[in-house]
A and B are shown apart, each in its own frame.
Chain A
Amino acid sequence: MLMELMLRYNYWISVVLMLIGFYTMISKKNFIKKIIGMNIFQTAIFLLYISMADIEGRSAPIIISETGYVNPLPHVLILTAIVVSVSTTAVALSLIMKIYKEYGSIEEDKILEVHS
């Protein structure tokens, strides 16, 4: 049991980061903290996929060495996902700026009592 735990420690790290990000998204009231929680969640997912691509004893996927290469396919897919994450964060922060200009605060409960 402990041996299998030590062999799979990358999934544990990813799960802990996922839970931290998810908790921040749900229970904080400031909008910017929610967006930061979404970023932490996305980073945990990237770690999960890239850590599955590693092979022990092989080097980076550039054809220059005689040892083997790690699996290059998850790196390619995660590159696209990182760019999508950056775009989403940029548009979300701009929306927060417009909300602040309209309502005067970025706390969730103050906006709810102004709006209703």
Chain B
Amino acid sequence: MIRIYSIISLILIGMIFIYVADEMPAFGSPDNPINNRVYDRYTERSFEETGVPNIVTAILADYRGYDTLGETTVIFTAGMSLMLLFSRWKNG
């Protein structure tokens, strides 16, 4: 019963997605709306402002360094919650 419902709803969702995919920009063209002035600023002036050739590392650690601090906190919190789940109480 769940299977029939899920397959019907998946076909509906799939049709909506494929109808929307017609309106998205083409794959690989240089005048997509994603390549705007942010892209120009990052590729032209990242080497003289940070001194690091890898643009992805420069954005991660210098331009958006605060987000990377939050992400390291996410990994640290996952480790903490593992320690909480697997601790053993001494049954007395």
Answer yes or no: A and B touching, Cβ < 8 Å: yes
Interface size class of A (residues with CB under 8 A): 35 or more
Partner of B27, one of A10, A27, A64: A10
Q: Are B71 and A80 in contact (CB-based, < 8 A)?
A: yes
Chain B residue at smallest Cβ distance from A4: B22
Q: Is the CB–CB distance between A76 and B64 below 8 Å?
A: yes
Question: Which of B12-57 touch A at CB < 8 Å?
Answer: 13-14, 17-18, 21-22, 24-30, 32, 34-35, 38-39, 42-43, 46-47, 53-56
A4 to B7, CA, bound (A): 27
A98 to B81, CA, bound (A): 13
Provide the bound-state CA to CA distance between A114 and B41, in Å. 60
Give every chain A residue within 8 A of B68 (Cβ-Cβ): 80
**Residue B6 is within 8 A (CB to CB) of chain A in the complex:** yes
**Are B74 and A87 closer than 8 Å at their CB atoms?**
yes
Tell me whether A111 is interfacial, beta carbon within 8 Å.
no
Expressed in whole angstroms, the minimum distance between the Cβ of B92 and any Cβ of chain A is: 20
Q: Is the CB of A7 within 8 A of B55?
A: no
Are B13 and A52 neighbours in the complex by a CB distance under 8 Å?
no
Chain B residues positioned under 8 Å from A2 (CB to CB):
none
Task: Please state if A62 and B35 are interface contacts (CB–CB under 8 Å).
Answer: no
| A112 partner residues in chain B, CB cutoff 8 A | none
Chain A residues within 8 Å of B, Cβ to Cβ: 4, 7-12, 15, 18-19, 22-23, 26-27, 51-56, 61-64, 68-69, 71-76, 79-80, 83-84, 87-88, 90-91, 94-95, 98
Residues of B within 8 A of A (CB): 2-3, 6-7, 10, 13-14, 17-18, 21-22, 24-30, 32, 34-35, 38-39, 42-43, 46-47, 53-56, 59-60, 64, 67-68, 71, 74-75, 77-78, 81-82, 85-86
